[in-house]
Amino acid sequence: MREILLNVEVIESLTDNYIWLLVNYHDSSAFVVDPGEAPAVLSWLKKRKINLLGILITHHHPDHTMGVADLVDYYDIPVYGPHNSPEKCITKKLRENDDLILHGIRFSVIEVPGHTNDHIAYFSSSPLDTNHILFIGDTLFGGGCGKLFEGTAQQMYSSLEKIKRLPQNTLIYSGHEYTLSNLNFAISAEPDNNKLRKRYQDDRQKRNKNQPTLPSLLSLELDTNPFLRVSNESVISAIQKKFNINDHNEQVIFEALRKWKDIF
The number of C-alpha atoms within 13 Å of 224 and in the hemisphere containing its C-beta is: 26
The number of C-alpha atoms within 13 Å of 131 and in the hemisphere containing its C-beta is: 17
The partner residues of 56 in beta bridges, in order of sequence, read 33, 80
Catalytic residue among 63, 70, 83, 98: 63
Question: Known catalytic residue: 176?
Answer: yes
**Quick check: 26 and 40 in contact, CB under 8 A?**
no
Catalytic residue among 60, 64, 103, 132: 64
Question: Known catalytic residue: 138?
Answer: yes
- Quote the CA–CA distance of 145 and 112 in Å, as a whole number: 11
The partner residues of 45 in beta bridges, in order of sequence, read none
Catalytic residue among 34, 60, 103, 115: 115
Question: Known catalytic residue: 83?
Answer: no
- Residue 254's Cβ-count burial label (10 Å; 0-12, 13-18, 19+) is buried
Question: Known catalytic residue: 26?
Answer: no
Q: What angle do CA 136, 87, 215 make, to 5 degrees?
A: 15
Catalytic residue among 61, 103, 119, 132: 61
List Cβ neighbours of 92 (8 Å cut-off, separation of 6 or more). Answer: 78, 79, 80, 81, 100
The partner residues of 111 in beta bridges, in order of sequence, read 120
Edge to edge, the sheet with strand 92-94 lists 6-13, 17-24, 29-33, 51-56, 79-82, 92-94
Question: Known catalytic residue: 132?
Answer: no
The partner residues of 92 in beta bridges, in order of sequence, read 80
Catalytic residue among 59, 103, 119, 132: 59
Query: How far from each other are the two terminal CA atoms of the chain, in whole angstroms?
Result: 54
Q: Annotated active-site positions, please?
A: 59, 61, 63-64, 115, 138, 176
